[in-house]
Amino acid sequence: MSILSTSSYRINLSCCIDIRITISNVILLLQRLHIMAMGNSSSATNRPLMPKTTPIQDEYKLTEIVLGMGVNGKVVECIKKSSNEKCALKILLDSPKARREVDLHYRACACPHVVQVRDVFENVVSSKRCLLVVMECMSGGELFNRIQSRADSAFNEREAAHIVRSIALAISFLHSNNIAHRDLKPENLLYTSSGPEGQLKLTDFGFAKEVGLHKTLQTPCYTPYYVAPEVLGPEKYDKSCDLWSLGVITYILLCGYPPFYSNNGAPISPGMKLRIRNGQYGFPTAEWKNVSDNAKDLIKRLLKTNPDHRLTIDQVMSHKWISMYTAVPQTPLSTCRILNEDKEQWVDVQEEMSQALATMRIDEDQQIKLKTLKDSENKILLKRKKGSAAKKALPPVVKEEDSVVQG
């Protein structure tokens, strides 16, 4: 038999199992093996984080140009003096939580689909010990902003598939190293440049966490529109919550609006929470009639409410819509038009989500201190205290029968 056939290669593995792999899958396999090789390299993911203790001003010129906002504060522009390279600077108050964020991001930099960390400094800023994280400057902007800037109907399904595949490659690397991002959303997906050569990369590891083989994540941290059902309940959850978020992002990329939304304008309402837990969403004909069945199938498999039934990242990479993304039809989508029509609303949604993030996470390194009733400043409680004190100050009421002297 010929080694090369018209439709496939026949590869005889050492375990004596013959597997027929199409040419596109061979390419995909090589790419994934490259990602896995980086993930398994001890020098890549286990390299120790060694913050510099020298002043950052020795190597970088700091500016006040704000490039964006992250979970833990704004990101500003800085310039490397030796090369004149523009970089992005994020300043974090030094804490176990901040150390974990920087460490996981630093380790993830072995993946080319993750925003690269250039330097980390441990400096005192305004009398507070801080971690100063210097990253590559992503001048291409956020994912949705880039799509919004396109002409009406210029964005097509094949481009959406290419984007989802790029995101999936980043997730694949993280999950292969037992890291859950836990806040996967379009605002955390940035382009290296504004031109067609711009590469999409994942950033902001403020909610990232290292996990084991079992479902161990219990901290309720999420962004409302991308939250997985198990995060809303008492169940433990794992890396599969990133796959749910990928499903929501894929949905938005193909139509311009999220599958779950709040009817009353709140970041996450009881009704929205119920729809997420029940997996209630649809594919309205107006925007979805020309979208391929393969794309809808991927979304359905990613938005499974039971995480055990949801696709793993390996299954996503093997899905036809991803593995054969170059063959996806170039069907024009309504995404650009809808995103631009609802542009102001999307800004409000992002602001609501940012505000919600601050109240949705309690980590093990954040200690909660409960005030005693004596120290409480609650107005209602203070009013009741005053009323109680006033009653105690009144003379006792003598009942008539108590005043009768027994003879």
Q: Which residues are annotated as a binding site for ATP?
A: 90
Sign of CA dihedral 337, 343, 345, 351: positive
Residues 6+ away with beta carbon under 8 Å from 155:
147, 332, 333, 335, 336
Gap between the Cα atoms of 26 and 223, Å rounded: 36
- Residues belonging to the binding site are 90
Gap between the Cα atoms of 387 and 249, Å rounded: 55
Residues 6+ away with beta carbon under 8 Å from 200:
113, 143, 163, 166, 167, 189, 190, 191
Smallest CA-to-CA distance from 181 within 222, 235, 125 is with 222
Alpha carbon of residue 325 to chain centroid: 23
Instruction: Please pick, among 94, 183, 204, 242, the residue that the annotation labels catalytic.
Output: 183
122 burial (CB, 10 Å; 0-12 / 13-18 / 19+) is middle
Q: Is 297 left (phi over 0), alpha (psi -120 to 50) or beta?
A: alpha
- 103 an active-site residue? no
Tally of CA atoms within 13 A in the half-sphere of 27 that contains its CB: 7
> Could you write out the DSSP letters of every residue in 10-67?
EEE-TTS-EEEE-HHHHHHHHHHHHHHHHHH-HHHHSPPP--B-S-GGGTEEEEEEEE
Angle at 71 between CA 48 and CA 337, to 5 degrees: 125
Residues with a known catalytic role: 183
